[in-house]
Amino acid sequence: MPERQIGGFAHLLQALVYAAAFPGQQLSWFDGQGQLQHTRSYAQVFQQTRAYASQLLQHLERSAARPDGMGPRLGIVATTGPDFLPLLCASQWAGGVPCPLPAPSPLQDVTRYAQALGNLCQAAGIGLLMGPKQLLAQLQSEGQLALPLLAFEDLAAAAADAAAVALPLPPVPAPEAIAYVQFSSGSTGQPKGVAISHAALMQNIDAILQAGMALTAEDRAFSWLPYYHDMGLVGFVLAPLCGQVSVDYLAPSAFARRPHLWPGLMAARGSIITYAPNFAWQMAAQSAALLEPGARLHALRIAGVGGDYVDGSALQAFAQAFAPQGFAPDAFKPSYGLAEATLAVTMSDAPFERLRGYFHIDDRQVVHALPVADARAKPMVNCGRPLPGWTLQVRDAAGQPLPAGTEGDIWLQGPAQLSGFFSAGELRAVAADQAIETGDRGFVLADGALYVSGRSKDLMVIHGRNVWPLDVEAAASENAEIAPDQMLMLQCRELTGGLPALVLLVHEKALRQSRQPDALKLAAAAATAAAGAAVRACMVPNGSIGHTSSGKKARAATQRRFEQGLIPILADSDAPD
């Protein structure tokens, strides 16, 4: 048996062939009750990949050649299960470009899902859609997907019936060739598919495994992240393959229904590495009492945080909740990344007590470090320094670089950035030396550490002041004792005589559960103080606040629905008692 190799591969199929030599390294899937459903070794994944590739080649031989000369784009509905990784690798083996696509959430309307899926397929020019048989039958009944469909079950049956053929490995792909297409979590009506090259993927994986995580042969991982999201796809499907890492998986819907399964299964499996967005740590902390007695989390070496704005209070809540289980807060590793950068740009190595800084950003966007007790101090989390290869800059509105300690727009450039965007079936190339405007704001301190303020499009200007909706939500959350993920701050148009109106939406269930008898008015008062202008708090039906596929609040989409009168107001803080 060869020695474990932590990265250093030229492409995924090379990594898969290498991983197949380690029969003890396995992938496991757990159901919504926390019971083991499936287990596959990397050797079995390789055999399944080769069988699927043989069948896909037959399907693709019947397809017309594409005018752009690129391999056909193959859509894969990325359900959490043992079919996904073999299908992704088989797509590359057969000369195609895999496109992981969102799976429907349990309560999602099929018609709306079919429309969204159709938009994604059209954007990337997908010529074949693969997914679970039952789902494809539902999509066919909607009549909105005019492209060939192939069920996972039918492909598996055909592969099992076919005579075993030692299909030769394909030619080594060119480093600049497109490895896959990733849709960012914000993709909506006119989505853009992020095209990632083989070279970009492998460079980012190497930086994550070697510089970011210092991966060892003993590490094993746990993830409930969706396979169609960059953190779930690259971080916990493709990177583990390149490090021959065992991974345990739980479906996102199972985590959402029973958050305690995540820490509980990590304790049972001795997990060493996990990652999740900010909101998940808070959800898990609230479910800590449901863990089995004797559960231990002392093995967790990396508890990564990314995919959204990092709130230190959520990390503190998890650390306190799971201290009895031996969780070490220094395991927290806040990070910054985005699909356009393959995945990771920065990863923090600071100890827990130094992760949070307290700052005030003045009207000139200059950052001032303040004592915790200062009323102007805003807690912000150190997301780390750039990984090897990345150049990160903070720029002003004119695109000019700003000095350290000044807030502005975050730009980056490096070898793991996207090759271009797919839109209307065509690839619109992005030059390798072209810096990327991320759409995020933040600042870099003198030591090179990045602090992220929020999304540029979310920034509100109120009476000449820059105000972040997250800060307003945090103040309202603390005052009314309501979880911040149950409220949404909006700066709406033409609600009060044509003037912008500040509105805080709060879910009905959260208000009912608050220990404060007048929680809606308390939330409005705290929001008004934080915003520096009158905020109207509105109780709205549960589920009114939309979310992206990765769990982030969908501010723009929710605001459009609210302004169109599609979200009913059940109670209003401005109403008389």
The answer for 202, left when phi > 0, alpha when psi is -120 to 50, beta otherwise, is alpha
Strands 246-250 and 220-223: parallel
Domain boundary among 166, 197, 228: 197
Q: Which residues contact 243 (CB under 8 A, 6 or more apart)?
A: 4, 5, 6, 7, 209, 215, 219
Q: Is the domain of 448 the same as that of 478?
A: no
Give the tens place of pLDDT for each residue, 124-145.
999 999 999 999 999 988 777 8
* Pick from 9-23, 300-314, 489-503: least confident: 489-503
Q: Which domain holds residue 374?
A: 358-458
Q: Is 452 exposed, middle or buried (0-12, 13-18, 19+ CB in 10 A)?
A: buried
437 and 564 share one domain: no
Interval 289-302: pLDDT, tens: 999 999 999 999 99
Average pLDDT of the residues of the chain: 92
Q: Quick one: 386 and 502 in the same domain?
A: no
Examine the pLDDT at 177 and tell me if it is beyond 80. yes
Q: Which spans in 34-109 are helix H?
A: 42-61, 84-93
pLDDT band at residue 574, thresholds of 50, 70 and 90?
A: confident
Same domain, residue pair 468 and 452: no
Bridge partners (DSSP) of residue 437 are 411
Which pLDDT score is estimated for 554? Answer: 84
Residue 266 falls within a domain, yes or no? Answer: no
Q: Each residue of 347-392: pLDDT tens digit? A: 999 999 999 999 999 989 999 999 999 988 999 999 999 999 999 9
403 and 488 fall within a common domain: no
More confident residue, 237 or 550: 237
DSSP string, 397-421: TTS-B--TTB-EEEEEE-TTS-SEE
191-214 average pLDDT score? 96
Same domain? 96 vs 137: yes
Q: Kindly compute the dihedral angle of the four CA atoms of residues 118, 122, 125, 128, in this order, to the nearest 10 degrees.
A: 20
List the CATH number of the domain containing 556. Answer: 3.30.300.30
* Exposure string for 29-39, b = 16+ CB within 10 A, e = fewer: bbebebeeeee
* Average of per-residue pLDDT across 305-320: 92
Q: Which of 416, 434, 458 is the last residue of a domain?
A: 458
> What pLDDT is attached to residue 466?
84
Dist. CA 249–CA 224, nearest whole Å: 6
CA 343 – CA 412 distance, rounded (Å): 13
Domain end, chosen from 144, 162, 197, is at 197
Tens of pLDDT, residues 433-460: 999 999 999 999 999 999 999 888 888 8
164 has pLDDT over 80: no
Direct distance between the N- and C-terminal alpha carbons of the chain, in angstroms, rounded to an integer: 75
Per-residue pLDDT band for 274 (boundaries 50, 70, 90) equals very high
410 with 539, same domain?
A: no
| Residue 393 near residue 412, CB atoms below 8 Å | yes
Length of the chain: 577
How many whole angstroms separate alpha carbon 131 and alpha carbon 150?
7
Nearest residue to 492 (alpha-carbon basis) of 564, 415, 402: 564
Q: How many domains does the chain have?
A: 3
In this structure, the answer to whether residues 47 and 163 fall within a common structural domain is yes
- Is residue 386 in some structural domain? yes
